[in-house]
Structure 1
Amino acid sequence: MKKTSTLHQGFLSLEAMGVLAIIAVAIVLAVSAVSILFNKSTLNDEMSNVQALVTQARGMLKTQGEYPFTNGAKMTGTLVQFGGVPGSMTINGDKATGAAKIANGWSGEVIIAPEKIQGSANNKGFSVTYKNVPQDACVIMATKLSGSAMIHEVSISGTNNIGAITAEKAGAQCKPDNGSVGVNTLIFKSNN
């Protein structure tokens, strides 16, 4: 009488499980690296967009030394209508009507609004408001753009700053994200 033995083998060997674990870790690291690069790209684009919006608003919307608009919706819509918004920004609505809105790379609203500055009775300046800015982008945008000759004041989530802002000050004023959504509002003011 011959006895047969049966071997029970698992679905995967230990070696195969090790290879799959290494592949899984590599995929997670690759996704993380792509996410970091995307976030840096968005930050760089938005810093350029703020500077372009300030330059275009000065060139296209200033009339006889002031910005004769009643509110931010009208000023923003007019800048869109005149073609003064960078091509990388999202425009919501019909450009031709003067009522379109702008969104930044974090899906936050961007508003260009007239501002009364230095005690003037008229709108001698304007602001560019950025909503839904992530904390890391908030710190970098506030410090880098506050040193610009075109921007004289920066409000970080309700705290007004005149002149250049240090990284320490911006870090204290920029709020942490809510999950993956930025909650900061930056307002860049120009008095020219």
Structure 2
Amino acid sequence: MLKLQEVSVFAPVIHQVVTDLLRRVERLRLRSHDQATVCDLTGELYKFGFEGISSILFETRLGCLEDQIPPDTMRFISAAGAMLALSEPVLFFPRWTRRVLPFWVDFVRAWDDLYSVAQRLIDRKVEEMDEKVKQGEQVEGMYLTYLLSSGKLSLGEVYISITELLLGELTRHPTPCPGLCTTWPGTRRSRSVCIKS
């Protein structure tokens, strides 16, 4: 459990994400046929969680709560959902089925997508830090900045650590509202849930 002083550092970031979620929910309500319904609230809460976790780990906003979600972010969300949905089949099916059944290829593709997007986000942070150092500015940030500036981990280890932390948090809360959604948003079997306020 983190101490209050350690957690309070993240409060401004989470406040921004919560504010964006509330604005998005209001926009979705106003666009609905009765101006009171939010369809797929589970998906919206999933995007909120993803945006919040990513804002802390990558120290950047991914745009999950925007009307037009960036393609890389959509790829990242879909890959996380696919990877988590396919984890059980990969673990429980015999290894020989990997050549026959398509889930192994999908699982590897999901990991590749997750890793490549995470790598791009971390590389962007490295460039920002290098630019600040060149300009003589002090490099400040949160967890990712600490990992990159401490020199205790190689860049490859940072890529893996941050991606694993993101997935670890997502697996702790696989559905934002238990009982509302049977699978991860973005997978073939996800369904829309309408909630009236």
Question: What is the TM-score normalised by the length of structure 2?
Answer: 0.25
Q: Which has the larger radius of gyration?
A: 1
Q: Which has the higher contact order (CA 8 A, sep 6+)?
A: 2
Task: Give the TM-score taking structure 1 as reference length.
Answer: 0.26
Structure in which a larger fraction of residues adopt helix? 2
